Structure 1
Amino acid sequence: MGRKGEVQVIQTEYRYQQLENWLLQAIAEQRWRLGERLPSIRALCEQQGVSKATVQHALQRLEAQGLVEARPKAGYFVALQPRAARAPRNLARIEAPRPVTVSELFLDIMRRGAAFDLLPDLHAGDLPPGIVALNRAIGRALRRQKGDDHQYYDAPAGEMALREQLALHGARRGWQVQPEQLCVTSGCQHALFLALMACCRKGDVVAVESPGFYGVLQLLEQLELQVIEVPTSSETGLDIDALERVLQRWDIRACVVSPAFATPSGALMPPAARQRLLALAEQFDLAIIEDDIYADTAFVQVPDPLKALDTGERVILCSSFSKALSRDLRLGWIAGGRWHERILHLKLVTQLASSRYLQRGVAEFMADGSFAAHLRRQRSELRSRRDRLIASLHDWPGEIRVSTPQGGLAVWLELPEPADTLGAYPRALEQGLVITPGPLFSVSGQFRNCLRISFAHPWDGRRIEALNRLPELLLPS
């Protein structure tokens, strides 16, 4: 005890601070790696002999520091720090327009069914709950077919019930679209095909992102269109300044862009850049083809589509369910703006009709809330898989740069030169691995030291082991 009149100060550490420091040390020692789930609140109470309030207070303090994150109905996870890895550089060069010749590598990867999997022969077990619910909805739609429905073709624009649900889905993202402004397609690739046919003629020049989606390059080749590649940032997407310089120099008919989580980088275009893009479209009489296929995979907030800002009807929005729901569904949609009637005609020519019962089943799946529930589960799972992938990449030797997407299905990896991912492709095949080399995302042979790696599948033991074998194949010794 101190003398009378003195106040004795005793330095103490509260229980929540003790727990907070213990968790910090455990994370630093990688007891739980980036993206991994911490023990439950109940488990921490039992392990540390503290109250639930103490545990919650400690976790909330760590969350406020950005070190852990709470996910609804899933628990707390070690958070991926935004600057934990350096972003890939914007190294694409601008070259004159040229015809497109798609690499045979693309065909080889697609034949193996391996666009998004290191181990395409490794199949997961149980179906996700959302796919189970989808299959049931489609089955009910098939059983409800009446009379001679099977004798009739679908309407050119697709089932009204599905278009109504798609319009409601768009409204939730800030896009006020009417069902009559939508057309159902056979996937997003078909939608992009219709868009390019509607606004371009043979020999026209089309601007694309670089690195960009190889499926678009394939379409340009088939339609005998020329391409000009515009550099992109792995964080903010298409370089609008570079696009303006390109538009000032060459006569360009259309620009294909993915504002939301573009593949391969997963970039998200900021609002100011979107406004500038639309202004350039007006100034240079440009058609904008928006590939919106990854937007619904957003980990936090689903961004509004570029189409929502389109007052001049210059944006053709293309999307599908293949990335957010099932690749096997083969249902997409397109909003053609000023080219809508032309697109409806081209739909009849290229596809004639879509499956009526399939559309009705998906419409029911959306209407009863099953699609929204599936997206909530999937977004949490994808974010966890992304974090685990990037955590594993941190362990690779050498100076690597990796994107940190807030949505999508893949990261873009820049390796130190003279890494040659294209040359590593056959060596990887010999070990049963299928990689997607950087040159696949360009027509000019760029990005040989880059690689796209997907987190679309669970990181089970075999995939982690396959991932850990890549450095010896890719990195120079």
Structure 2
Amino acid sequence: MIEIGSGIKKIIIMGTDGRGPEMGADYRYRQLESWLLQGIEEQRWRLGERLPSIRTLCQEHSLSKATVQHALQRLEAQGLVEARPKSGYFVALQPNAVKKPVSRSRIEAPRPVSVNELLLDIMGRSAAFDLLPDLHAGDLPPSIVALNRSIGRALRRQKGDDYQYYDAPAGDIGLREQLSLHSARRGWAVPPDQLCVTSGCQHALFLALMACCERGDVVAVESPGFYGVLQLLEQLELRVVEVPTSVETGMDIEALEEVLERWKVKACIVSPAFATPGGALMPSESKSRLLALAERHDLAVIEDDIYADTALGSAPDPLKAMDRDDRVILCSSFSKSLSRDLRLGWVSGARWHDRILRLKLVTQLASSRYLQQGVADYMADGSFASHLRRQRNELRERRDRLIASLQAWSTGLRVSVPLGGLAVWVELPTSFDTLASYPKALEEGVVITPGPLFSVSGQFRNCLRISYAHPWDARRTAALNRLPELFVQL
């Protein structure tokens, strides 16, 4: 979490005689460094914004390219700016502004799930990741144009009466081979026959729960955690026990151990890589402890890995890569990393994999072969990897611009700073009620995602999730800046 505020210390570069800035040619990079620092402090360039280009700085300050690069590299070494390939230098988030979270969920006895009806309203407005879902601004990005072309070529390759046949239950072998290669680059060697293509990650999670649980079983989940999981638990008539979760390191393993000692838990659903709503990243030590607990308590672990490819740096190895006891069912999709309209996911079912294949026949029967073949071609020619590289820069810039806009909010505001994912978790002072704020914001055409939707216990009323999945154009920025006026205080 960060507490919003300045945090950049002004640095005065003194000359060798102590009387002021050194004016010699050898020290001109220091003058530029000092000028840029002053501009950052005065918010001439705010968090996440791009500094003037090297060429511009050379021209405006009559400096050589080497001198300008040296000044920028010194700022980068201090963590004040960051270089982004083919984009330039940007004002970076300051580590000294980071502050630990204060709110934690309670451990309560397992209970049936009842999902708030408000969630249906949000999903009906397609507003899960957008304050202004009716905006639909901008052109298709080149990566999606390329994806559509790959799918179109696959459709044109149809022969004879191919359209009369179903795909194999596990999905197109070409796509599964590409998914296997993609997973290997993240440290998880999975053969294609241990992957099953699904209709998105939600479908994969549904199959996983059906395979390892029966009605009335208890499932441990993150709190705050993914509301889609709560919907599945409700439909399958499973009971839930919520485990406190940090927005920085994910599920509290000590709290999970307490839960497992007190109640018989059949499965645990966890998102080690950039869990929604706060973007937590689980450390390797916590992953190891989780797997040890799973073996000791005969627990199925369902890994929701959907956000891993949104990493702002290197994508972390999945929990599944550490699974030596065949207890981790990995679920993922292209929904968050490529297109939410694609509806292609996958599951690797561990010891339950054969049962998952049978359940897919019941719940979906088959996936579109040509859609799968088009995506497989898109991955094989390097387009997906190229898309992920561009996306990292875009998401980092959007995250930083969001946090910069939040600087104008109250001093009591706290917000997560994720290293991946698509959203931040905003914690307001306890006097605010985001659930009661929903209809007021809706009257202004703004759709928020209140904190209580991420729990079954009614907690987090002073919290909300805000996504940076879309560009911060003028209208979205204006809507974001209006939110403080729309929040209801108790």
Q: TM-score, normalised by structure 1?
A: 0.97
Aligned residue for 1:213?
226
The 5-angstrom pairing of residues 35-434 of structure 1 reads 35-434=48-447
The DSSP-based 3-state class of the residue aligned with 1:42 is: helix
Paired with 1:344 and 1:289, the residues of 2 have a C-alpha distance of: 16
Q: CA deviation at 1:216?
A: 0.2
Q: Which deviates the most, 362-371 or 88-97?
A: 88-97
Q: Is the 8 A contact 2:219 2:238 kept in 1?
A: yes
The letter for the 1-side match of 2:131 is: L
Q: Is the 8 A contact 2:194 2:353 kept in 1?
A: yes
Aligned residue for 2:453?
440
The letter for the 2-side match of 1:151 is: Q
The DSSP-based 3-state class of the residue aligned with 1:91 is: coil
Aligned residue for 2:9?
none
The letter for the 1-side match of 2:201 is: C
The DSSP-based 3-state class of the residue aligned with 1:357 is: helix
- Name structure 2 gaps, 5 residues minimum: 1-15
Paired with 1:45 and 1:261, the residues of 2 have a C-alpha distance of: 39
Paired with 1:432 and 1:139, the residues of 2 have a C-alpha distance of: 36
Aligned residue for 1:6?
none
The DSSP-based 3-state class of the residue aligned with 1:31 is: coil
Paired with 2:243 and 2:102, the residues of 1 have a C-alpha distance of: 14
Q: Is the 8 A contact 2:168 2:366 kept in 1?
A: yes
Aligned residue for 2:3?
none
The letter for the 1-side match of 2:364 is: Q
Q: How many residues align?
A: 469
Q: CA deviation at 1:10?
A: 5.4
Paired with 2:96 and 2:370, the residues of 1 have a C-alpha distance of: 47
Q: CA deviation at 1:90?
A: 3.9
Q: Which 4+ stretches in 1 moved above 4 angstroms?
A: none
Paired with 1:323 and 1:299, the residues of 2 have a C-alpha distance of: 13
Please point out which of 36, 42, 47 is paired with 1:29: 42
The letter for the 2-side match of 1:98 is: R
Aligned residue for 2:5?
none
Paired with 1:403 and 1:475, the residues of 2 have a C-alpha distance of: 22
Paired with 1:467 and 1:405, the residues of 2 have a C-alpha distance of: 19
1:197 to 1:311, Cα distance in 2 relative to 1, 3 A: same
Paired with 2:97 and 2:164, the residues of 1 have a C-alpha distance of: 58
Q: CA deviation at 1:124?
A: 2.0
The letter for the 2-side match of 1:279 is: A
For each residue in 1:229-264, what CA deviation from the matched residue of structure 2 results, as whole angstroms up to 9, or x when unmatched? 000001000000000000000000000000000000
Q: Is the 8 A contact 2:306 2:336 kept in 1?
A: yes
Q: Is the 8 A contact 1:187 1:331 kept in 2?
A: yes
The DSSP-based 3-state class of the residue aligned with 2:288 is: helix
- Name structure 1 gaps, 5 residues minimum: 1-8
Q: CA deviation at 1:475?
A: 6.1
The letter for the 2-side match of 1:429 is: L
Paired with 1:43 and 1:230, the residues of 2 have a C-alpha distance of: 52
Q: Is the 8 A contact 1:86 1:402 kept in 2?
A: no
The letter for the 2-side match of 1:245 is: E
The DSSP-based 3-state class of the residue aligned with 1:293 is: coil
The letter for the 1-side match of 2:67 is: T
Q: Is the 8 A contact 1:416 1:475 kept in 2?
A: no
2:481 aligned with 1:452, yes or no? no
1:398 to 1:474, Cα distance in 2 relative to 1, 3 A: farther
For each residue in 1:287-310, what CA deviation from the matched residue of structure 2 results, as whole angstroms up to 9, or x when unmatched? 000000000000011100000000
Aligned residue for 2:8?
none
1:122 to 1:27, Cα distance in 2 relative to 1, 3 A: same
Q: Which deviates the most, 37-46 or 357-366?
A: 37-46
Q: CA deviation at 1:84?
A: 2.3
The DSSP-based 3-state class of the residue aligned with 1:103 is: coil
RMSD: 1.0
Aligned residue for 2:11?
none
Paired with 1:211 and 1:186, the residues of 2 have a C-alpha distance of: 25
The DSSP-based 3-state class of the residue aligned with 1:228 is: strand
Paired with 1:355 and 1:60, the residues of 2 have a C-alpha distance of: 50
The DSSP-based 3-state class of the residue aligned with 2:466 is: strand
For each residue in 1:259-300, what CA deviation from the matched residue of structure 2 results, as whole angstroms up to 9, or x when unmatched? 000000100000000000000000000000000000000001
Q: CA deviation at 1:326?
A: 0.1
For each residue in 1:376-427, what CA deviation from the matched residue of structure 2 results, as whole angstroms up to 9, or x when unmatched? 0011100000001011112102301110000000000110011000000000
Q: Which deviates the most, 55-64 or 82-91?
A: 82-91
How many percent identity over aligned positions? 77
